[in-house]
Structure 1
Amino acid sequence: MLFDMDGTLIDSERLWTIALNELAATYGGSLSAEARAAMVGTSMDQSMVLLHDDLGQPWRDAAAGAAWLEKRVAELFGTEVRFRPGARELVRAVRTAGIPTALVTSTARQLVEVALQTIGRDNFDVVVCGDEVDNTKPHPEPYLTAARLLGVPIGRCVAIEDSPTGVASALAAGAAVLAVPSDVPLAPADGVRRLDSLTAADLELLASLQARATG
């Protein structure tokens, strides 16, 4: 089982929005809704490019902006991380069933470690972070890496995602995909099962997705 983190397991996109808006304000501007939506599921480097371009300030130091943002988000992660509806229960059911499980996120390890204090390190056999792969989502590398580390063929894995970028990554890797949209709409896609909430997901559904993928 391959879980995305931001917007899928935890309600963290709102925290990123708070921090991004604050950073934009320090630059004397405001972040557009369109640019914010384009950032969901992307790497920090990509988000900084989108932010600076959106503000008409492409000359800004991306590394300095990323450092400021990571520090602020770490503060918010430490106090305000919450599970998305149904996420805690689904993770618990997967772990109780003994299913190999990975967390696959575009977020950097430093911030993931803060989030894991809430969502539980023991819930995952493997954690793949955005700054630990050469290519982040929508490239398939993060999901292929997680499957390899779990020792499970990617074709027998189910990935749970909330963003177009994440869905594209999981599909390109060859995983079965369960999509649960959060902050960004998801268009219908072949090979993707969609739910409005993880409260409707259970082990029977996940097994059916895996069987369909391998069958």
Structure 2
Amino acid sequence: MDTKLNQEAENDKDMKTNTNFTADQTQNPESIYYLHPSNSANTKLVFVVFDGTCYSDWKRSMMIGLDAKNIMCFMDGSLPQPEDNTPDERAWKRCNNMVIGWIISYIERKIAKSFIYLKTASCIWKDLEGRTPSSSHMYRLQEKPLNTTHGPEMTIVEYFTKVKSLWDEIDDLRPLPLCNCHPTTNFVMIPQDQRLITFHMKLDPQNSQVRTNVLLRKDMPDVREVYRMLL
């Protein structure tokens, strides 16, 4: 009899434990709201702090870090806030505040002050996006490769890395349009050819022989192929 009572008491205890586990979705590994014990506002997420410049680099780093934590949905607003006074609503708020803590910790204090009273991570994200002067920023990005010159003080690796990072940022901000109107139309090759010419124009004169060999080819190679040739 005592054994049966003890077994029932143990089962009741297990049921309460399971109920509490299910109620707190941040502790349930199968829940979208699950927060691993290693997740905290002090966890190192990225190595870039937003200081008002280089927003694209910071944004990309944050997106990678948050997506790896499976909580990008709080940043982009794709996971709406549940109804009030529900277990999911409490879990959502906890995750949302965690993401807010991460965002603010990777923004310089003088800038972060303007976000401290925004209630959701997605609001902060939209505010940051709205502060970025896209047109003037694009102009500066397009101008930088033209003003970047390869010289004796810069290696080929440094020169290629610098201009390629600028091109990647431009492509991220202004993706090429997709068009199926004509199968022979290749919009991708137009900017690639322009970039190859720009890349050659700014090369150190000691690489003139490689430049001549490339420009005499019937089919223009990819910039990365030219980079390998220069190496």
* TM, length-normalised to structure 2: 0.23
Compare the two structures and name the one with the higher helix fraction.
2
Tell me which structure has the larger Cα radius of gyration.
2
* Higher relative contact order, structure no. (Cα contacts within 8 Å, ≥ 6 residues apart): 1
TM-score (norm 1): 0.25
